[in-house]
Amino acid sequence: MFERLGSALLLLLLAGQASAENLAQIHLPRALLHIRQQPIEAQLATTPKQRNIGLMHRTQMPQNEGMLFIYTDDAERCFWMRDTPLPLSAAFIDKTGVIVKLVSMQPFSDKSHCSEQPVRYVLEMQQGWFKKHEITTGERVNGIP
C-alpha cells in the first residue's frame, strides 16, 4: 500500500499538481468493499473538503481502487469532472448499500450526473469497471463503514 501512496505522491509532484490539498487526498482512510466477490480498496471521502476535491488532478488509479464519498444524510447527489483527467464511472448508492444508478463520466467535463433519487454514498471507479465486472443497479455494496 505504501508503495502505491509513494507512486501517487511522485506523480502529483512530477505533474506540478502537488498542492497541500492534493497531498492530503492521498492519505485518506481506506476501507475494503465488496460487490459480490469483487474486492474494492476504497479511499473514503467523508468531509465536505475531501468530497469537493475527490479525484481531481489524479492521472492514474489502480484497477480495483476507487473513492467512496460518504454523506451523513440522504439527498440527490450530482457529480461532475472538472479538473479530473481520469475517465470515471460512478455508482450512486442508497443508505442500505444498494446501487440505484450507474453513470460514466468524461474527463474535464462540467456535465452534471445526478442520482435522481436520495443516496447516501457515491463510489467512483475507473470508467468501465462496473461493466467489466457485470455489476448493475440493484446490487449491494458490502463493507461500507
Which pLDDT tens digit goes with each residue over 55-100?
999 998 999 999 999 999 999 999 999 999 999 999 999 999 999 9
Domain ranges of the chain: 28-142
In angstroms, the CA 115 to CA 100 distance is 8
In angstroms, the CA 124 to CA 94 distance is 15
What is the average pLDDT score of the chain? 88
In angstroms, the CA 55 to CA 124 distance is 9
Up-side HSE of residue 81: CA atoms within 13 Å toward CB?
22
The percent of residues above 70 in pLDDT, for the chain, comes to: 82
Q: What pLDDT sits at residue 23? A: 54
In angstroms, the CA 7 to CA 112 distance is 31
Which pLDDT tens digit goes with each residue over 92-118?
999 999 999 999 999 999 999 999 999
**Measured between alpha carbons, how far apart are the two ends of the chain, in Å?**
20
Grid cell listed for 71: 454523506
| CATH 2.60.120.1140 is the classification of domain 28-142 | yes
- Distances in Å between the alpha carbon of 10 and those of 25, 29, 63? 14, 19, 19
